[in-house]
Chain A
Amino acid sequence: MAGLIFSFQPGASPLHRLDVRVKLAALLAVSLTSLQLGHAALALALSALLLLLARAGWPPLSTLVALRWYLLLLAIVVCSQALTTAGEPLLPISWLPASRQGLEVGLLSAGRLLLVALAGLLLTVTSRPAALRAAVEWLLRPIPLVPHRQAATMVGLLVRFIPVILSQAAELKEALRARAIEESRRPLRRLTALGLPLLRRTFLTADRLTAAMEARCYGAELQRDWPSLGTRDWAALALVGCCCLALLLLSLW
């Protein structure tokens, strides 16, 4: 499941067909908007994103299962906020200083983080890594002093490497199991049996990748020509903008 979280899922949904720049801009807009949203607006936005993920081929339940560790982290955020914020006591237990205000604040910040995580998931699930790389480069180009081509290539490689590492880990685990080597919970044993071979393998993969990139003349100045945005892209951008604005208004009201 962990492998699925980062990888592109081919498909033909309207989201797959959108220009990646539009999706990246939408993600940034959602990320900024999320900081100002209230409870009702957050709930609306979260359900909308879950529906969109379902449209892109990811049912809500498996999305939440894939994000289980993240949800655990968010639960910790909620608990720590509830316990540390002063206010009206939530439970009539004297040693458990949970407050209602703290719970509200915690739920709010956890919801905001989850919103951005779902939006990011939507982007990686529906966009090819190569297109994503090009879009990051396009985004960084106006910023001075940043080697935008290199940075974009590295982001593209990062996105591509994650599923490679996870699938190699799965292969290694199967190889160990086939040789009747039990999976150990002791950290050092795990490191020597699984971690070291995995890392050596990934580094060899990186080496082969370097050779392949060199053989394909990476480094020669390549410029990607962007087609101008179509009606569909502008419409989507306008729709996202309107939604963000509506959610902001709802939160203010």
Chain B
Amino acid sequence: MNQQPDLRNLVLASLMAALIAVGGYLVVPIGPVPIVLQNLFVLVAALLLGSRWASAAVAVYLLAGACGLPVFAGGGGGLGHLFGPRGGYLFGFLAAAWLTGLIAERAGRRPWLEVVAMVAGSLLIYALGVPWLQWMLGLDFGKAMAVGMLPFLPGDALKIVAALLIVRSVRPLLRPATAPSQPPRRSAG
């Protein structure tokens, strides 16, 4: 079956946006800081869909949140969140999806380049999120880093490994024209 590539990407981008929202609702209680899986799915979206559709996925997620739908972390929503103290991270997701996607498109599925892409994307999230947090709460730079970046770094390393595993597992399903009647193919990893 030949599916319209645009429609397919549109559905997949919506799915990734939904996964980003679900990732914000599932809180993994490891270590001192609860880990939220939103940025994991931002990275996965970027690797699977490329920069254009991954940014579309994040943009739709932000739009849904801005309309007030309960999609932000823990089931929140509304403009107050988007322009609140953590808003920088949300806009950072958009930039990260674009940048990671851009590098990943040129990586030709080489794992180390994909890791570089994800590290760059994760750092970009903090590059927008931490100064925003610092400005909104009136903290000094060191304190903002201690509150808004350093506790999350070990979790981010785990997330990058997880994203690589996920992308390995899911990518074979995304080859064009997978007929719905075919059984899912097994992949390594």
Contacts and interface: CB of A to CB of B under 8 A. Distances in A.
Contacts of B150: none
B67 interface: yes
A208 B181 CA distance: 9
B-side interface mostly = helix
Contacts of A161: 14-15, 17-19
Interface in B131-189: 137-139, 143, 147, 158, 161-162, 165-166, 169-170, 173-174, 178, 180, 184
A113 B78 contact: yes
B184 A204 contact: yes
Nearest to B41: A199
B11 A157 contact: yes
B80 A116 contact: yes
A87 B39 CA distance: 36
A123 B68 contact: yes
Interface residues of B, number: 62
B10 interface: yes
A54 interface: no
A157 B67 CA distance: 15
Interface in B1-33: 1, 3-4, 7-8, 10-15, 17-19, 21-22, 25-28, 30
A157 B57 CA distance: 11
A-side interface mostly = helix
A247 to B, nearest CB: 15
Residue among A139, A154, A206 having the largest count of chain B Cβ atoms under 10 Å: A154
Given A67-B74, A206-B15, 12 more contacts: A24-B68, A27-B68, A113-B76, A113-B81, A116-B80, A151-B60, A157-B11, A158-B18, A161-B18, A162-B22, A196-B166, A199-B19
